[in-house]
Amino acid sequence: MPPIFHAQLLTILYFLSLSNPSFNICISATTDTNFNKWISWRLNNYHQKYLDRKSPKTIFSKKMSATLDLRLRMAEMNRKEIKVSQDGTGNFKTVTEAIDSVPLYNTRRVLLHISSGIYREKVSIPKTKHFITFIGNAKDPPTITGNDTAATVREGGDGTPLRTFQSATVAVDADYFMAINVKFENTAPHVVGTVGGQAVALRISGTKAAFYNCSFYGSQDTLYDHKGLHFFSNCFIQGSVDFIFGNGTSLYENCYLNSIAKKVASVTAQKRSNSSISSGFSFKNCTITGTGSIYLGRAWGDYSRVVFSYSFMDKIVLPQGWSDWGKKARDQKVYYGEYKCSGPGANLSGRVPWARLLTDEEALPFIGTYYIDGDSWLINPSAYQL
């Protein structure tokens, strides 16, 4: 059969396996290791059939690649630009006004150029406003800031606290969101021993979202990587407790993770809750440093999945590496892998026995943009001629 059909068939089989319970039975009947090998084989195959022939740089060259999904291709062929500037020289003075101007069920790529400055706004991009891109100046990125926490009670509201989900300074529920050179911030501090201190800087719940050269500043629960396929490239992420958390399927490449923890905390809290769910965080060529003592991850979901590859780990990483959050039953279910990491925190001799030192084959599914089906939706920022 022609290669393209072969790849598609594999994809279909894969999704069948996720959605069709009878298909699931034959997979879960095999051992966990076989299942992982099977995923690895699938991705390797997919990689050879598709991606080796087309490097990511050429995916969005002059002619748009046929592998980009159709909706996205249509949106990119029909771009629109909007300028936000606090000095009145743009189309709008606030990010919120600019988003309000985007029609419901938007089908065009909207490039929202945000001038340098501090934007004290609670920004929300609803489900119906896809294809929005925030673009800032690389030399002086705009900051979108707030200080809501899970415990904040909104004035004029119904008196109930916001909770973690609603605490986000910027919340994105739409798909195909992008941000380039933007700083997302929540300034509420985490006070050890108090409750309701979760204070999200950005929540991303839409799928096929990418962040380039962005920074995320917060303390407890900085980046809510809620759900969907996400790509973080060259980003700076700072926080104290569980500062990257959620059920996202995400690749973090060349990112700098800075802990400001005051006592033992965790960098990630990934929430994969079922073995048939494909979510998980993959960190490639990242740096983990800062203060406090930190776990690489703690299991929010029973099947929490996190992989670090080619990353530098400073001495603040606890020798045990990973935490089951006090639930022993999770030890055999979580998937916590490390591959070719370096630095004093990457010493494996004190790791919990259920941490995995990945083989080349096991690491493979996690270390390319194919992990997030990137070839169907990733757009190189250079396409926007910034």
Ligand X SMILES: *[C@@H]1O[C@H](CO)[C@@H](O)[C@H](O)[C@H]1NC(C)=O
The residues annotated as belonging to the active site are 242
**Considering beta carbons, is residue 107 or 332 the nearer one to ligand X?**
332
Q: What are the phi and psi torsion angles at 244 (to 5°)?
A: -130, 115
Residue 291 C-beta: closest distance to ligand X, Å: 20
**Nearest Cα residue to 308 out of 374, 357, 241:** 357
Residue 89 C-beta: closest distance to ligand X, Å: 22
Residue 312 C-beta: closest distance to ligand X, Å: 9
**Considering beta carbons, is residue 212 or 243 the nearer one to ligand X?**
212
Contacts of 177 (CB under 8 A, 6+ apart): 125, 130, 132, 133, 204, 206, 209, 210
Cα torsion angle, 96, 98, 101, 103, sign: negative
CA atoms within 13 A on the CB side of 119: 28
Residue 346 C-beta: closest distance to ligand X, Å: 9
Cα–Cα dist 51/36, whole Å: 21
Which strands make up the sheet holding 223-225, listed edge to edge? 123-125, 170-172, 202-204, 223-225, 244-246, 265-270, 294-298, 322-323
Q: Can you give the binding site for ligand X, defined by CB under 6 A?
A: 120, 138, 147, 180-181, 212-213, 227, 234, 247, 249, 254, 274-279, 285, 347, 349, 381, 386
**Are 194 and 214 spatial neighbours (Cβ–Cβ below 8 Å)?**
no
**Considering beta carbons, is residue 74 or 347 the nearer one to ligand X?**
347
Cα–Cα dist 257/76, whole Å: 32
**Nearest Cα residue to 366 out of 67, 36, 110:** 36
- Residues written for the chain: 386
Residue 57 C-beta: closest distance to ligand X, Å: 13
Residue 97 C-beta: closest distance to ligand X, Å: 18
**Are 372 and 52 spatial neighbours (Cβ–Cβ below 8 Å)?**
no
Residue 152: count of CB within 10 angstroms of its CB: 18
**Considering beta carbons, is residue 80 or 340 the nearer one to ligand X?**
340
Cα–Cα dist 132/178, whole Å: 6
**Nearest Cα residue to 182 out of 225, 143, 146:** 143
**Are 182 and 144 spatial neighbours (Cβ–Cβ below 8 Å)?**
yes
Residue 170 C-beta: closest distance to ligand X, Å: 15
